[in-house]
Structure formats: structure tokens, C-alpha cells
Structure 1
Amino acid sequence: MNKRVKQVVAALTARINEGDKVFIDKYLNKAQAALFWQMNLPDQRHALNVAYTALELAAGQAAVNQELLIQCGLLHDVGKVKGDVSTADKIITVILDRFVPQWAKSWGQMGRGSKIDNLRHAVYIYYNHAERGAAMLTAAGMPSELTMIVARHHEAPAVGEPPELTLLKKADSLN
């Protein structure tokens, strides 16, 4: 099955169980958890899956700060706020990114209103959620290492990047 089709199915069937809630409470402080719970359910489920996968990828790697890695996994998409983008607009945005990415990136703009404005907003969020999330984390007083990793999680791999960023990118791409 195509990765994008799997993502749509996962979004439509997303659930969070008691074990997930315990995991979130273990790794996120109150301010971080508030940002996590501001995401919509499919993004929360995705973030949990990314955090679980990142933890598996980090097994046996002593140089990795596992607590930071898990926090990054859980918070990497906080720039996608519940109610900001409809599921239909999110699907259209992914299609636009697939077929006309340069045009879509330049067409997107912040601000909701009409159906077209909402779609443009969805496109903007798609391309800018990492920076938006990092700004939200900074405003909430989160550590700079966490905000930097969230801000850079969609950038191309770079020599010398922190292992937590490398693992987050890999885990995100697998989910």
C-alpha cells in the first residue's frame, strides 16, 4: 500500500490509549504536554508513533539523549494546531506538494477565511509547521536544543547535526 494511503487510513483510525497517555506524562512536562494536546488526534498519534520509532532506533546508542529524542518526537509537529487545517485541505496539500511543490510553496499563505484562504493556509502550515512549532516552543520557554531540533526536522541531513535530529528525521520518515 502506498505510504500516503497508509497515512490517510492512520489519520482516520487514530486513537490514543492509556499506555500512550502514561508515556506522554512520563516524558513531557505540563507546558510541553499542553502543546502536545493542542494538536489534532491524527497528529498526536503520528507524534507518538515517531517517538516510539525514534526510541527503537536509538537503542544501544550511548551518545543519544533519549529523553530529548522522545520529547522531540512528541513535539515535532506542534506547529500543526487542532482546528487549523481540515482533513480535506491536508489531503489536497499533500497532492499539491507531490505534483507542483514549488508553486504550492509560493502560493501558501497564513490566514483563514474563505475555502481558498483555508486551503492556502493549509499549504502554508504544511511547509512552515516546523518553524511555527519551534516558535511556539520558544514562546513557552522550552530549551533551545529542543526548539532547534523541531525547527530543523524537515531540513536535508547535515554533517555534524545532533544524533537526536538525525534519528527524529529517520523516525518521521518511517511514520
Structure 2
Amino acid sequence: MSIELDSATITGRLGSAASPERAVLRFHKPSLPLRIFFRVRQFVRGVVAHVEPAEMLTVADLLPKPALVRFCQMPLDAQRHSLNVLYALQKDGHNHPDLAAAALLHDVGKVASEAAGVHLNPWLRTPLVLAAALAPERIQRWAMDDPQAGWRYVIHVHLAHPHIGAAWAAEDGCSPLTCWLIEHHQDEQPNPPDARSARLLSLLQWADSRN
């Protein structure tokens, strides 16, 4: 992860106790081979995924009740991935409640594929991720926002899940910041409203890319 600090921080004018919200972090996506490695590893983890009951209690403490219900609708491997993203952030000392909620719900929009009768399991999701990385323009052409379109709708859900998930999170009572983080968690050039949002988004993208 690459970190860029504003000029005041660099010159030390903010002092050693400067708020991290004054720092702007810019996440740089890993190289394609590294991204493929992470996705293959995620696939293997997804196939053998399990979630402990105690972990669900952790989720219940971090999400509004409607969002908890939504989390439980996610397939097991997606729950495992989201928890791993959360744990990566917590291990690094990042415990902002809106960031934690976004970590748990950033992929919840993928549940929308159920409208086409398709379950986005690891066997389907991993090829979609790799295809989007290798041939993004072709994937965009195949996508169709119509549940009757079958696999083409599934591609649409895969591409649009940040926006779908953000809309659901708003319906479920999550904070505006959590919704913003979910909506932009795959953006390479986001336009954050402030330095804090930029910092939290960069952290979410970093943890997501490595899990």
C-alpha cells in the first residue's frame, strides 16, 4: 500500500500527535499476477470456508439488525471473506465502526444474483473476477441489468454489486459513511468527500485485496 501525506504532515507542522484524518492514503491495486494469486487463494479459502458461532456474535455487535439479516443471506464463503477483511483491519489497529460495517457488507450486493436463480459461489465468482481483470471491456459488453437475462444479469451483479450493496446498506440503517465506503470499494479513482473518507476507503481496499 502506498501512503501519501499532505505537505503539512510531511514537514512536521502537525506534530507527532497529528490526527490520522489529516493524512490521505492512496491505495494502489496490486499487479495482475499478484491479484490472480490473491483470487486463487480466496477461491481455495472459499471452498473450505466456515464461520464460528462466536464470529456471528461479533457481526451482530457491529451491524444494525436489518443489515445483520442481510449478512446472513450471503453465502458462507462470502461471510468468511468479509470477516477476514474485518480481521485484517482490526489486526492493523483500524477499528472505526463505519469501516468495520463496510468490511462486513462490501460484497453483500452480490446476493442480488439470486434474482436470476444463480448462486455466486466460489466456482463461479473466481472466473468472473479473473475475466473482469483480463478482459474488462468484454465483460462490460456482456452485462445486462435484467434478471431474466440469466448469466448476463449475473455479470451485471458482479460489476454493480458495490452500488447494489450500498443501496441495501442505506435501507438497513447503516451510516452514510459505511454506504459510501461500500459503494466505492472497487473504485480506482474515487472522489472522496474528505480526507477521513479517503483514508478509510484506502484501508478497506487494502484489506479486501489481500483476502
The TM tier, using the shorter chain, reads 0.7 to 0.9
Larger Rg: 2
Name the TM-score, length of structure 2 as normaliser: 0.71
Which moves more between the two structures, 150-159 or 9-18?
150-159
Q: Which residue of structure 2 aligns with residue 56 of structure 1? A: 91
Equivalent in the alignment of 2:183: 151
> Equivalent of 2:119, from 85, 93, 100?
85
Sequence identity (%): 27
Q: Which stretch has the larger CA shift, 154-163 or 133-142?
A: 154-163
CA–CA distance in 2 between the matches of 1:28 and 1:96?
A: 32
Contact 1:55 1:69 in 2 (8 A): no
Letter in 2 for 1:69: L
The Cα shift of 1:89 comes to 3.4
Asked if 1:15 is matched to 2:45, the reply is no
Q: How far is 1:8 from its partner?
A: 1.4
Asked whether 1:122 is paired with 2:154, we answer yes
Deviates more, 1:75-84 or 1:14-23: 75-84
Give, as a single letter, the amino acid of the residue that structure 2 aligns with 1:77.
D
What is the identity, as a one-letter code, of the residue corresponding to 2:98? L
Given the alignment, which residue of 100, 120, 129 partners 1:70? 100
Could you tell me which amino acid in structure 2 is paired with residue 51 of structure 1? L
Identify the residue that residue 171 of structure 1 maps to in structure 2. Answer: 207
Return the offset for 1:65. 5.8
Gaps of 5+ in 1: none
Aligned residues: 167
Deviation for aligned residue 1:22: 2.1
Q: 1:34 aligns to what?
A: 69
In the alignment, structure 2 segments of 5+ residues that lack a partner are 1-35
Q: For 1:50, give the aligned amino acid.
A: V
Root mean square deviation of aligned Cα = 2.2
- Partners of 1:109 and 1:161 in 2: CA distance: 35
Q: CA deviation at 1:173?
A: 0.8
Give TM-score scaled by structure 1 length. Answer: 0.84
From 145, 168, 172, give the equivalent of 1:136. 168
Q: Is the CA contact 1:89–1:122 (under 8 Å) kept in the aligned structure 2?
A: no
Residue type at the aligned position of 2:87: Y
Distance 1:125 1:148 in 2: 18
**Residue 157 of structure 1: how far off its partner (Å):** 5.2
Distance in 2 of aligned mates of 1:7 and 1:142: 27
